[in-house]
Amino acid sequence: MNLEIITPDKKVFAGEANAVTLPGSEGQFQVLNNHAPLVSALDRGNVVIDVNGAKQTLVIDGGVVEVLNNKVLVLAEAVL
């Protein structure tokens, strides 16, 4: 799936990912390929990106995520 993580200042990540784990406002959740469409608020916490088994972790200060047609767009307030 295609993942983009954007802050007001810059694009932090853009590329293909196998999975992404996000800090939702109601708890942590994971998005995989072919996930159902979704929009969710995000709290401060870790975003874990899995690219072919290699994991990268970013800490965000909240935001929103949209999942649609194997595209995941994270609008983060800031990456800490």
- Classify residue 71 as exposed, middle or buried by CB count within 10 Å of its CB (0-12, 13-18, 19+): exposed
pLDDT of residue 59: 96
Can you tell me the distance from the alpha carbon of 53 to that of 43, in angstroms, rounded to the nearest whole number? Answer: 25
Span 68-77, mean pLDDT? 96
CATH number, domain of 11, equals 2.60.15.10
User: Does the pTM of the predicted model rise above 0.75?
Assistant: yes
Domain that holds residue 31: 2-76
Handedness of CA 45, 4, 2, 34 (dihedral sign): positive
Cα 36 to the center of its chain, rounded Å: 15
- pLDDT, averaged across the chain: 95
DSSP 78: -
Domain count, the chain: 1
pLDDT of residue 38: 95
| Confidence band, pLDDT 50/70/90 cuts, at residue 76 | very high
